[in-house]
C-alpha cells in the first residue's frame, strides 16, 4: 500500500478551482517559435511602471538584507495623502488576491454564504471555498448590468459577504454610485460589502464611484485596490484595502507580519504619487478603447462597452478557434470559457501599436474564414 494515498486533504479543497493565469510572453514565444508576441490577456499597463518606481527600486536594492516594514507605513502615508484616508483605515497586502483570502479567513465559517454577481472574478469563490463556505451566484442582467433586487433577494441568514467588482472583470460594466448606495441601504446590518475597484482608475463615466467615499462615511464596506493595473506594478504584487477602522483591525489579525516585500512597498509609494504617469496611463487606455471599438464595429463584432482596460468581445461559436489562431500569430488574449462564456474573448487595451497588430490579426483571420466559407458554399 502507498502510504501517501492515506493522507487526505480537507473536503473544502474538492470545491477549490486553482486560478488559471494567462500565458506569459516567453512561453508563447518558445512554444510557437515566434520572434514577436504581444500580450493582451492580463489587463496590465502597456506603458509600464512609473519611472519613479523603477528609480526607488534601484535605490533600495542594497537593503534587501533587512525585513520589510510589517506595517507598510511609508506606503500607507502615501495612500493617505492621496486619498484622504487615515492609516487606521488601511491594510496593505500582497496584491488584492491576498486581501480576498484574508477577508474570507476573517469572516467566514463553514456553511456561511457569500453572494457574487456572475460572471466575475474567480478569486472570490476561491476564498469562500477555502473556508468551507457556500458561493451564491447572482446572474448579471442580459447587458451585464448589476441587478440590485436579485442580489438582495439572494440574502439569507447565512449571508456574510456580498462581492461587487466595479468595473467588473470580465465584462467591463460597473455599478453606478446610486445603485451602490441602494445596495448598502438595502442589506441587513450583519453583511459586509466587499467592493473591488481594482480597475477604478480607468472608469470615465460621471456616475461611477470607487467606493472610498463610503469608507470615509463609515459604511460596512471594504474597498479593494491594486497597484497591478494603472500603476503598472503587477510583477511586484501589492494592493490595499480600505475600510472602517474596526473592520481593518479584525482583518489584520489574520495577516502575516511580512506579507509585502520592501521593494513593492517603496515602488507603490512612488507610483501613487506620480500623478503624471497615472494620467498618461488613463489617456492611453481611453484612446485605446476607442481605437478598438471603432475596429470592432467595422469588423461587425459585438462588444460590451467597458469602463476598464479590457473589452469583452463576442466572436460567436468560433471564439475558441479564433483565440488559438491569434496565438499562432503572436497575439495573446483571454478565452472566455474561464467565466462560462465560450463565445467571448476578453481583450486587454494595449498601446496604439499593439492594438493595431491585434486588429490586423483579427481582420486577417476573419477574412480567411469568410473566404473558406464562401468556397465551401460554391462547392
State whether residue 371 is helix, strand or coil.
helix
pLDDT at 272: 98
For 20-48+276-374, CATH gives 3.90.1150.10
Each residue of 183-214: b (16+ CB within 10 Å) or e?
bbeebeeebbbbbbbbbbbbbeeeebbbbbeb
What residues contact residue 194 under an 8 Å CB cut-off, 6+ apart? 100, 103, 124, 161, 162, 163, 164, 221, 222, 224
Could you count the other beta carbons within 10 Å of the beta carbon of residue 354? 17
- Give the span between the Cα atoms of 297 and 300, in whole angstroms: 5
User: Measured in Å, how far apart are the chain's first and last C-alpha atoms?
Assistant: 62
The answer to whether the beta carbons of residues 174 and 203 sit under 8 Å apart is yes
pLDDT values of the chain reduced to their tens digit, one per residue, 379 residues: 566 667 677 776 677 676 666 667 667 766 767 778 899 999 999 999 999 999 999 999 999 999 999 999 999 999 999 999 999 999 999 999 999 999 999 999 999 999 999 999 999 999 999 999 999 999 999 999 999 999 999 999 999 999 999 999 999 999 999 999 999 999 999 999 999 999 999 999 999 999 999 999 999 999 999 999 999 999 999 999 999 999 999 999 999 999 999 999 999 999 999 999 999 999 999 999 999 999 999 999 999 999 999 999 999 999 999 999 999 999 999 999 999 999 999 999 999 999 999 999 999 999 887 765 544 554 4
The answer to whether the beta carbons of residues 342 and 336 sit under 8 Å apart is yes
pLDDT at 379: 46
Q: Looking at residue 144, what DSSP letter applies? A: S
pLDDT at 368: 83
* Per-domain residue ranges of the chain: 20-48+276-374, 51-273
Strand partners, 194: 163, 222
CB-neighbour burial class of residue 215 (10 A; exposed 0-12, middle 13-18, buried 19+): buried
Closest CA to 159 of 132, 136, 180: 136
Closest CA to 221 of 193, 189, 197: 193
Strand partners, 159: 113
- Give the span between the Cα atoms of 242 and 80, in whole angstroms: 10
0.75 surpassed by pTM: yes
- Options 3.30.1370.60, 1.10.240.10, 3.40.640.10, 3.40.1280.10; CATH for 51-273 is 3.40.640.10
pLDDT at 135: 97
Q: The C-alpha cell of 190 is what? A: 450583519
Amino acid at each position: 500500500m502507498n502510504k501517501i494515498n492515506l493522507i487526505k486533504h480537507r473536503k473544502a479543497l474538492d470545491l477549490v478551482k486553482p486560478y488559471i493565469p494567462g500565458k506569459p510572453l516567453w512561453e508563447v514565444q518558445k512554444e510557437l517559435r515566434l520572434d514577436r508576441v504581444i500580450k493582451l490577456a492580463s489587463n496590465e499597463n502597456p506603458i509600464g511602471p512609473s519611472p519613479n518606481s523603477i528609480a526607488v527600486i534601484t535605490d533600495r536594492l542594497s537593503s534587501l538584507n533587512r525585513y520589510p516594514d510589517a506595517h507598510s507605513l511609508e506606503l500607507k502615508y502615501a495612500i493617505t495623502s492621496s486619498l484622504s484616508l487615515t492609516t487606521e483605515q488601511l491594510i496593505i497586502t500582497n496584491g488584492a488576491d491576498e486581501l480576498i483570502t484574508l477577508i474570507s479567513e476573517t469572516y467566514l465559517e463553514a456553511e456561511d454564504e457569500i453572494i457574487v454577481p456572475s460572471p466575475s472574478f474567480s478569486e472570490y469563490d476561491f476564498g469562500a471555498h477555502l473556508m468551507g463556505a457556500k458561493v451564491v451566484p447572482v446572474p448579471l442582467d442580459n447587458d451585464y448590468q448589476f441587478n440590485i433586487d436579485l442580489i438582495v433577494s439572494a440574502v439569507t441568514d447565512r449571508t456574510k459577504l456580498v462581492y461587487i467588482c466595479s468595473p467588473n472583470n470580465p465584462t467591463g460594466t460597473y455599478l453606478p454610485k446610486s445603485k451602490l448606495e441602494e445596495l448598502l441601504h438595502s442589506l441587513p446590518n450583519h453583511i459586509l460589502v466587499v467592493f473591488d475597484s481594482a480597475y477604478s482608475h480607468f472608469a470615465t463615466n460621471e456616475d461611477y464611484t470607487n467606493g472610498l467615499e463610503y469608507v470615509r462615511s463609515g459604511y460596512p464596506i471594504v474597498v479593494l485596490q491594486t497597484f497591478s493595473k494603472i500603476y503598472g506594478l503587477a510583477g511586484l504584487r501589492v494592493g490595499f484595502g480600505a475600510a472602517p477602522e474596526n473592520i481593518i483591525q479584525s482583518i489584520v489579525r489574520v495577516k502575516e507580519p511580512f506579507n509585502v516585500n520592501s521593494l513593492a512597498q517603496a515602488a507603490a509609494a512612488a507610483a501613487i504619487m506620480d500623478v503624471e504617469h497615472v494620467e498618461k496611463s488613463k489617456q492611453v487606455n481611453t484612446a485605446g478603447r476607442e481605437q478598438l471599438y471603432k475596429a470592432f464595429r467595422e469588423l461587425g463584432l459585438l462588444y460590451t462597452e467597458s469602463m476598464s482596460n479590457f473589452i469583452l468581445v463576442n466572436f460567436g461559436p468560433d471564439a475558441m478557434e479564433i483565440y488559438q489562431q491569434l496565438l499562432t500569430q503572436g497575439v495573446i488574449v483571454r478565452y472566455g470559457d474561464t467565466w462560462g462564456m465560450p463565445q467571448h474573448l476578453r481583450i486587454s487595451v494595449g498601446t496604439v501599436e499593439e492594438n493595431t497588430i491585434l486588429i490586423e490579426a483579427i481582420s486577417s483571420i476573419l477574412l480567411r474564414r469568410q473566404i473558406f466559407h464562401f468556397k465551401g458554399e460554391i462547392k
